[in-house]
Structure 1
Amino acid sequence: MLLVTTFQPAASEEFLELTKSALLAALEALSPGSLFGLATFSHKIGLYDVQGPIPVVKNVFIPPDAESSLPLELEDAMPLLQFLAPVETCKDRIAAALETLRPITSWGRSSGAAQGMDGVLMGGRGFGTAMEALFNYLGSEFGSTFALARVFAFLSGPPDYGRGQLDTSRYGEQYASKRVDADRALLPEQTPFYKDIAAIAVQSGVCVDVFAVTNEYTDLASLKFLSIESGGSLFLYSSTDDSTLPQDMFRMLNRPYAFNCVLRLRTSTEFKPGNSFGHFFPDPQYENIQHIICCDSYATYAYDFEFADNTGFAKHSGDQPVVQIAFQYTVVVPPEGLSNSEMSSSSRDKHTLQRRLRIKTMQFGTAKNINEIYDSVDHEVVLSLLVHKVIVASLENGVREGRALLDDWLVILTAQYNDAFQLVPYKNGNKSISSQIDITFSQCPQLEPLPRLVFALLRNPLLRFHEEGVHPDYRIYLQCLFSVLEPSSLHCGIYPTLMSYSTPDQVAYPRHSLSRAALMTSGSPIFFLDAYTTLIVFYSSTADPSIPFPPPQECLLRKTINQVKQERSITPKLMFIRGGHDDATAFENYLIEEQDVDGSGFASAMGFVSFLDDISQSVAEYMNT
């Protein structure tokens, strides 16, 4: 594998130190035979040659305007094979080169960066030009020098120099006019530039992972295409203080992966694939074929289907519906009998590339009636598809439209269920039927979780309004994260798991609803909340002072936390909160069931119960129209 890292020295000392730590972790996790390239970007691109005794840097200056290309090809500045260093022989030199990196001061940038009228520095992140040049640079050797290239791009703010520079003033202007929907203004990309160069990355065999370490508006809505279309990931860290960037880097490179993947889905003639969801690049020529530059076992892709015509699945046909998935991919195979950890440097050149094809053919029975469909529901899969669809709706028509789509879906499902079980018929003329409507799906256990999950999704930052303080970049980050999670992980991200302990070594209740009432009535002293990206251990203010805080390393609770962290695709943030002593806001914000679905209050009449009443009224109106 080829790993190229790009980041901006024109940033804080803390950002540089965090980036160095992440790259040192990457060096330890890289597989045998990997090549490593180090590049920096600011008002110039710096290419590092670390194969000699002293690191050598060749710089190419970036034109400040958004139209001009580089005056010099990167290959002419430094031949690619000089730029790419074998990790096994150059690890110490790469680490030494990282130590030479220092923040660029305004004095150092003044010779190349654009300046304002009073000499104030304007710009300094020539990210777009650097990425475009780098993809072309690497593409010349794709298939010969390397079979897979991963570009790790580190950003401490928005690109503001050269090609692909972004106008971040729209973040403030979203509130300037009452005629503009603030929830819709910042979701679309402001330029097609990054989507266009993502196509170049795919053609060059490059997977891009973007790591943004910033709390300022960076317009991830425009930058995300580099990652999602090349099979990469988008990470957002609000500060350097508690960032898990080094751990995430190590996890990503230390797990098995496949590359140059092609995914194809076919069906029998009665139905056909509809929409497809995930981080891939659709084939420009053939339908239902996706290209994935790199993926691992956590990568998840979703499809929905539609009937080929209005006959559906013929009742009298003897053939059952068939779905076939073909997945072609390449893996690195070590010499037989040895694991990567047992490799010596002399044996690393014996690794081979193996092209594989897996075909999975599945035959499904068809439901005889609606009740059989309800009995076969997997609520976590339903939630996953709902999340994909509301993300698409939000991007196309705004957050309010995404929320409306979700609300309408639950109303229609509830109405159809009540009619199917003959609880309340359609158009019965009774205007007071809302009290008769079964809003909790009490006769179908498979559907029972759905109202609570829809409520939680409406309360998630993914669909909350800007006026509630949801940062637009955080919303985009969640869209990218949630669109690749498998259903059980996504369930955890939307409706976190809350369990209680009577002691650090004894579980009291394995699952609580996310409500203050549930906590108060349980009487348990310790609670463990898993929200996928965040883990919180909360000690009640009434907990016995003799219970050790934080929980001891060898206790059951700690073992559970460690197991959760080990199984996760990212490194969750771990927090310990002692009620009555520490600020409990971070924990209490997850207790959503007393919160109003629109975020307007915490009154006792609001929350999940009120939400069910509103849905019941909407169902009654729908069934009488």
Structure 2
Amino acid sequence: VVEFVAPTEYMTRPPQPLAIIFLIDVSFPSLQGGVLKVVAGSIKETIEKIPNENGRLRVGIMTFDDCIHYYNLNSNLMDVEMFVVSDLEETFIPIPDDLLVNLSESEKIIESLLEKIERLFKGKNSGGNVLGPALKSAVSLLSPIGGKIVVVQSGLPNKGEGVLKNREDVKLMGTNKESTLFQPSSNFYKNLAIECSKSHISVDMFVVSNQYNDLATLNGLVTFTGGNLYYYPTFNGGNLEEIKHLSFDFSSSISRYIGLEAVFRVRASKGITSIGYFGNHFMRSSDLISLPTVSPDNCQCVQFSLEETITTPYISIQTALLYTTIEGERRIRVFTLCLPTTSNLNELYSNVDEQSMFTLLSKMAIERILTHKLEDSREGLINKSIELFSSFQNGKPNMTLPLNLKHFPLLILSLLKSIPFRFGNGVIIPSDLRVFLTSILKNLYIDQSILFIHPDLYPLHLLSENAGLELSDGSIQLPQRINLSSEHLEQHGLFLLNNGLELFLFIGRLVSPDLCLNVFDRPSFETIQSGKSFLPELKNPLSIRIAKIIKQLKANSNTFLPLIIVKDDGQDKNRFKFFSHLIEDRGTDGSHSYSQWIAYLRDKLISK
């Protein structure tokens, strides 16, 4: 990897400062649920952590319910001035010069607004939501310099442009028409996102609501601007773990170091052509990706095609990212990869990167969900897998794969059983949840994708001698993982499952009173409270080691990893969610167990 300072010919204008507009829903659902309080507190606590070494950062705050509220943040004011615009047909921006201000100059007045913003709307019960007009105003304000819009949304837009309606229909779930729920109901937000991309504006969206939100439509804002979607369907302002989760994600979103005004291009040796690009971005041309902002969380996946016979001993692939640093320097980051060629298929197959190939297939399948029936997308994934297995084995239907591909069938089964792809009679998955997890999977790196599809499961009641203890490098030794099968779940055991988004702590129904006391500070299984929570800090060896293991898993992740305590009884609503991760078992929806899946693939190869 090499990085250059870009000459002036790579600039269409002088490098712009980072600018962030916080666009916050203050309608009744947001106030009632405690969302505004948490978000305002998170901004106040994090605003000094936003990269701003040279003092160029600019910040603006807008709120909306059935009107749009602008705030004069001029540093010379004694107090914040609020302007309310209720005309949604011809919205105008009052005092544009004082709405987006230099943070270093206006930090005190911004903090003053954040401290009292909840009181400004106390007692107001507006059910209106003018997200569309508010977004257009924020884009107009930000478009001269570009930057980032951070949206907090707690209900369906129901007034002005971009109105959305509840189109969730349980009758469609599990049928061929279910895929219509994953497609946008309007092009308003996609078109607005394309305008954002042209003006170098990205959108991060935090949807905090237990009602239907039509994420299939709103997600266009994120997809085409290189942003991120966050979703909290179970948020409870009275639950400390829920508050920490939202605060952590929000703070991480605004404080991470990012690049601005980025474009990305991939080139390869003669005879090799890029034919597919997967990730959150906008395609300016057939081979030029636009990324208004780029961060370590942006994952772009490229599919290549072999257009002619390669006769050279090596081929090269090169990527170039042109971007602006927050400090105002235009740079070009170049990554070049040289790979040897071979005419020996066995040599080729023995060098395939199993996880990379699976990640590409998963992202291709995700794209297909958005344009095809869900059942057709699953069938396409199965057929592509059988085609690959057949080529790996040179027509021998014995399911004997190279060692570097031995987990590939399991990964494909895991993907088919994951929420984005789960399908069949009796399978009821809210479309917002499916769209959200589809968006997440589309943007994950290789190791994150594998963990999401095939979680890690640890037995905590049988810790080895070193598990939970500190290693020489300061990290914590994790327990030995076990297979994702219920046959390994002992009824007296305690198990921790990590899927990269959540931690599930599963308690067997015959767990001993001593373990309940040492880990949960409760005398028995019956007295343990299930749901999102945290473990008490107890002064015994087992509690300390488990706490260190959980802390290490959180440190290894770029997400919060909320802890969900699951009890092995019929009353715990999270029990089904936990068991759905046990991929090697036969599913309650009739999906294959791992042994049945291998037999199915073998039969398909024989009949091929």
Partner of 1:492, secondary structure, is: helix
2:581 corresponds to 1:590: yes
For residues 99 and 582 of structure 2, the distance between their equivalents in structure 1, rounded to whole angstroms, comes to: 55
Q: What one-letter code is carried by the residue in structure 2 that aligns with 1:137? A: L
Q: Is 1:124 matched with 2:141?
A: no
Q: Give 2:315's aligned residue.
A: 321
Matching of residue 614 in structure 1 with residue 600 in structure 2? yes
User: Percent same amino acid among aligned pairs?
Assistant: 21
Map residues 197-208 of structure 1 onto 2, 5 A cutoff: 197-208=192-203
Q: Quick check: 1:459 aligned with 2:424?
A: no
- What is aligned with 2:276? 275
1:291-440 pair list within 5 angstroms: 291-308=290-307, 311-313=308-310, 317-332=311-326, 352-419=327-394, 424=396, 437-439=397-399
Decide whether the 8 Å contact of 1:271 with 1:312 is kept in 2. Answer: no
Partner of 1:263: 264
The code of the aligned residue for 1:149 comes to G
* Aligned pairs for 1:56-135 within 5 A: 56-63=81-88, 69-70=89-90, 72-74=91-93, 77-84=94-101, 86=103, 88-102=107-121, 105=124, 124-135=128-139
Pick aligned residue for 1:47 from 52, 65, 70: 70
- Per-residue CA deviation, residues 134-185 of structure 1 (Å, 9 max, x unaligned), is 2012213x1xxxxx522111111111111111122x323x73799x733211
Aligned residue runs from structure 1 range 449-528, under 5 A? 449-465=407-423, 467-501=426-460, 502-503=462-463, 506-507=466-467, 510-520=480-490, 525-528=493-496
Q: How far apart are residue 277 of structure 1 and its match?
A: 0.8
**Aligned position for 1:184:** 179
Look up the equivalent residue of 1:59 and give its one-letter code. Answer: V
**Gaps spanning 5+ residues in structure 2: where?**
1-17, 237-241, 468-477, 521-534
Displacement of 1:278: 1.1
Q: Could you tell me which amino acid in structure 2 is paired with residue 208 of structure 1?
A: V
Judge which range, 508-517 or 545-554, deviates more. 545-554
1:24 aligned to which of 27, 44, 60: 44
Give the drift of 1:469.
Answer: 1.8
Structure of larger gyration radius: 1
Distance 1:207 1:177 in 2: 32
SS of residue paired to 2:203: strand
Query: Which of the residues 553, 557, 575 maps onto 1:564?
Result: 553
TM-score by length of 1: 0.80
With over 3 angstroms needed to count, the CA separation of the structure-2 counterparts of 1:524 and 1:290, relative to structure 1, is farther
Which deviates more, 202-211 or 581-590? 581-590
Compute the displacement of 1:405 (Å). Answer: 0.9
Pair 402,392 (structure 1): closer, same or farther in 2 beyond 3 Å: same
Instruction: Name the residue aligned to 2:221.
Output: 226
Task: Report the Cα distance in structure 1 between the residues aligned to 2:71 and 2:484, rounded to whole angstroms.
Answer: 51
Q: Quick check: 2:506–2:565 contact (8 Å CA) kept in 1?
A: yes
Partner letter of residue 215 of structure 1?
N
How many residues get paired? 540
8 Å CA contact 2:37–2:118 kept in 1: the answer is no
**Aligned partners of 2:427, 2:173: CA distance in 1, in Å?**
18
Give 2:168's match in structure 1, choosing from 168, 171, 189: 171
Give deviations 1:377-405, integer Å, cap 9, x for gaps. 22211221111111111111121111001
Over 3 Å counting, the alpha-carbon distance change for 1:293 and 1:537 in structure 2 is same
Instruction: Identify which range, 21-30 or 204-213, moves more after superposition.
Output: 21-30
Measured at CA, do residues 390 and 581 of structure 1 come closer, stay the same or move farther in structure 2, by a change above 3 Å?
A: closer
Match of 2:230 in 1: 235
Contact 1:47 1:78 in 2 (8 A): no
Report which stretch shifted further, 15-24 or 251-260: 15-24
Q: SS at the partner of 2:429?
A: coil
Tell me which residue corresponds to 2:253: 252
Residue number in structure 1 paired with 2:287: 288
- AA in 2 matched with 1:154: V
Distance 1:130-1:504 versus aligned 2 partners, 3 A rule: farther
CA-to-aligned-CA distance 1:364-386 (integer Å, 9 cap, x gap): 11132221122112221122111
Distance 1:395 1:570, change over 3 A: same
What is the deviation of 1:40?
A: 1.3
Partner of 2:514: 546
Q: Measure the CA separation in 2 of the matches of 1:156 and 1:566.
A: 29
Q: Which residue identity lines up with residue 101 of structure 1 in the other structure? A: L
Aligned with residue 574 of structure 1, among 563, 567, 575: 563
- Partner residue, 2:5: none
Instruction: Supply the distance in 2 between the matched residues of 1:46 and 1:580 (Cα, whole angstroms).
Output: 48
Whole-Å Cα distance in 2 between the matches of residues 401 and 609 of structure 1?
A: 24
Q: Which amino acid aligns with 2:482?
A: H
User: In 2 relative to 1, CA 591–613 (structure 1 residues): closer, same or farther, beyond 3 Å?
Assistant: same
The answer to which of 384-393 and 10-19 deviates more is 10-19
Q: 1:7 to 1:89 in 2, by over 3 A?
A: closer
Counterpart amino acid of residue 438 in structure 1? N
Write out per-residue CA displacement over residues 482-530 of structure 1, whole angstroms, 9 at most, x where no aligned residue. Answer: 111111111000010112232497549622111011334xx99332211
Deviation at 1:327, TM superposition (A): 1.2
What letter corresponds to residue 298 of structure 1 in structure 2? D
Letter of the structure 2 residue corresponding to residue 23 of structure 1: I
Compared with structure 1, are the counterparts of its residues 8 and 580 closer, same or farther at alpha carbon in structure 2 (3 Å cutoff)?
closer
Q: C-alpha deviations, 1:383-441, integer Å up to 9, x for none? A: 21111111111111121111001111222222223336xxx3xxxxxxxxxxxx323x3
What is aligned with 1:343?
Answer: none
Q: CA deviation at 1:536?
A: 1.9
Q: Deviations over 1:121-143 (max 9, x none)?
A: xx711111111122012213x1x
Change (3 A) 1:82 1:38: closer
Q: Is contact 1:42–1:126 with CA below 8 Å preserved after alignment?
A: yes
Residue 54 of structure 1: SS of its match in structure 2? coil
Contact 1:529 1:536 in 2 (8 A): yes
Return the letter of the residue paired with 2:296: S
Q: Of 529, 534, 537, which aligns to 2:497?
A: 529
Deviations 1:5-34 (A, max 9, x none): 112221232232233233334424323333
CA distance, structure 2, for counterparts of residue 494 and residue 475 of structure 1 = 14
Displacement of 1:234 in angstroms is 0.6
